[in-house]
Chain A
Amino acid sequence: MALLELISPEVVKVPLQSRTKQEIIRELVELLRDAGRITEVQPVYDAIIARESMGSTGLESGIAVPHAKTRAVRKLTMALGVSPEGVDFQAIDGKPSKLFFLLLAPPDQSGPHIQALAEIARITKSPSFCSAVVHAPSAQGIVELFSEG
């Protein structure tokens, strides 16, 4: 599974408007609903929040990867958002999170889910790429960065 296959401008939002962790998650889930990727917001939001309650997916360097298994999707689905000012996502380094990869997978697609998450993990190791994404002017600009990556 190539991450690029999951990204299109409809599921990328820059800038995100929210100022709290819960609001960021809801805003990204609503983006997926508006893009026609999911039909109901609440069960997806609840699944993500349940996972976050086990431990924050706020990583170092301003990146967060909220994710969950849910029957609300039939295939791997992703939303990507940028909050240039940063939001407290209870990240492990205590710093505000700016780049959010929200990933949903049906329960029977653990393989592709892991591949996509592993690709995100590799991306997080490239500060220059992440910085370019955070400073991209538009959703289309972010998609192009992934195409070039």
Chain B
Amino acid sequence: MDRPINRILVYVDGTEASITAAQYAICLARAYQAELAALYVVNTRALNELLKARIFIQAEEQEYKRDLDEDANRYLNHVRSLARKKGLALETISASGNVHQEIKDCIRERDIDLLVIGELSHVRSRRDEFYDEAERAMRSVSCSVLVVKDEERVWQLYDSLS
């Protein structure tokens, strides 16, 4: 019988919840001997929307794009380092565009069988449900999705990995 999980993708957006998700994904990858990749998506769609709405001026849009590119590197390096500390190889993927669509495409292209995401925000309105990118990805991707909760337990699990 095939292993239930062969290729895991964790979506990292820089939030603490997404870093916790990465730690849990590392634990899972070790337990299932699965391949692990981490994806950060620079939300250029939002930047374009802000420019179009004239909330941003051109120079500001470029400045924020640079900031987000740096965030992508920083957070992916951090997650790679977390994996390395536990003796695990982790592929980092940086993409840009429409966040939930990039997640969906990445899953399809790499034949991912489990998407791991951080805990979703507690305070919600109907509008938030519609526009939250992780939530939209959760609804639209073709593979199973695991929403990671209980930061303290995850940290203990991660910490106890030899």
Residues of A within 8 A of B (CB): 1-5, 51, 54-55, 57, 59, 65, 67, 92, 110-115, 117-124, 146-149
Contact = CB atoms under 8 A, between A and B. Distances in A.
Most-contacted residue by chain A among B57, B67, B121 (CB, 10 A): B67
A9 B117 CA distance: 32
A120 B43 contact: no
Interface string B122-138: 01111110011000000
A5 B67 contact: no
Nearest to A66: B55
Contact of B46 (A5, A118, A124): A118
A4 B50 contact: no
B60 interface: yes
Contacts of A51: 60
Given A59-B55, A121-B50, A115 B125 contact: no
A110 B125 contact: no
Interface residues of B, number: 28
Interface of B: 13-15, 43, 46-47, 49-50, 53-57, 59-60, 64, 67-68, 71, 121, 123-128, 131-132
Contacts of A57: 54-55
Given A111-B14, A114-B43, A5 B123 contact: yes
B125 A148 contact: yes
A110 B14 CA distance: 10
B16 to A, nearest CB: 12
Given A117-B55, A147-B125, A111 B47 contact: no
Given A2-B128, A54-B60, A114-B64, A124 B123 contact: no
